[in-house]
Amino acid sequence: MKKLLLTGFRPFLDYPVNPTMRIVEELDGQELGEYKVVGRILSVDFRKSGQELLEHYENVKPDAVISLGLAGGRYKITPERIAINCSDGEPDNEGNRPTDERIADKDGADGYFSTLPIRQMVEKLIENGYPSEISNTAGTYLCNNVMYSMLHRIKQDGTEIPSGFIHIPASHELAIQHGKIPSWSHRDLLEGIKTCIEQLS
Ligand code: PCA
**Per-residue pLDDT reduced to its tens digit, 66-89:** 999 999 999 999 999 999 999 999
Q: Is 69 in the pocket of ligand 1 (CB under 6 A)?
A: yes
**Which residues are known to be catalytic?**
80
Q: Is 141 in the pocket of ligand 1 (CB under 6 A)?
A: yes
Q: In this predicted model, what pLDDT tens digit does every residue of 43-57 receive, in sequence order?
A: 999 999 999 999 999
Give residue 106's pLDDT band: very low, low, confident or very high (50, 70, 90): confident
Q: Is 9 in the pocket of ligand 1 (CB under 6 A)?
A: yes
pLDDT given at position 43: 98
Q: Which atom of ligand 1 is nearest to the CA of 167?
A: 8
Residues whose CB is less than 8 angstroms from the CB of residue 70 and which lie 6 or more positions away in sequence, other chains included: 9, 15, 18, 19, 20, 167, 168, 169, 170, 174
Q: Is 12 in the pocket of ligand 1 (CB under 6 A)?
A: yes
Residue 105 has pLDDT above 90, yes or no: no
Which of 67, 141, 181, when mutated, tests ligand 1's pocket best, judged by the most ligand atoms within 8 Å of its CB? 141
Q: Is 8 in the pocket of ligand 1 (CB under 6 A)?
A: no
Mean pLDDT of 95-101: 97
Distance between Cα 2 and ligand 1 center (Å): 27
Give residue 99's pLDDT band: very low, low, confident or very high (50, 70, 90): very high
Residues whose CB is less than 8 angstroms from the CB of residue 135 and which lie 6 or more positions away in sequence, other chains included: 71, 74, 78, 79, 80, 81, 167
Question: Are 142 and 9 contacting, i.e. CB atoms less than 8 angstroms apart?
Answer: yes
Which of 7, 9, 53, when mutated, tests ligand 1's pocket best, judged by the most ligand atoms within 8 Å of its CB? 9
Q: In this predicted model, what pLDDT tens digit does every residue of 118-128 receive, in sequence order?
A: 999 999 999 99
Mean pLDDT of 133-151: 98
Mean pLDDT of 18-30: 98
State how far the alpha carbon of 19 is from the alpha carbons of 9, 47, 59, in Å.
9, 23, 25
Q: What is the pTM of this model?
A: 0.98
Q: Which atom of ligand 1 is nearest to the CA of 8?
A: 6
Distance between Cα 39 and ligand 1 center (Å): 17
Domain 2-197: assigned CATH number: 3.40.630.20
- What are the boundaries of each domain within the chain? 2-197
β partners of residue 33: none
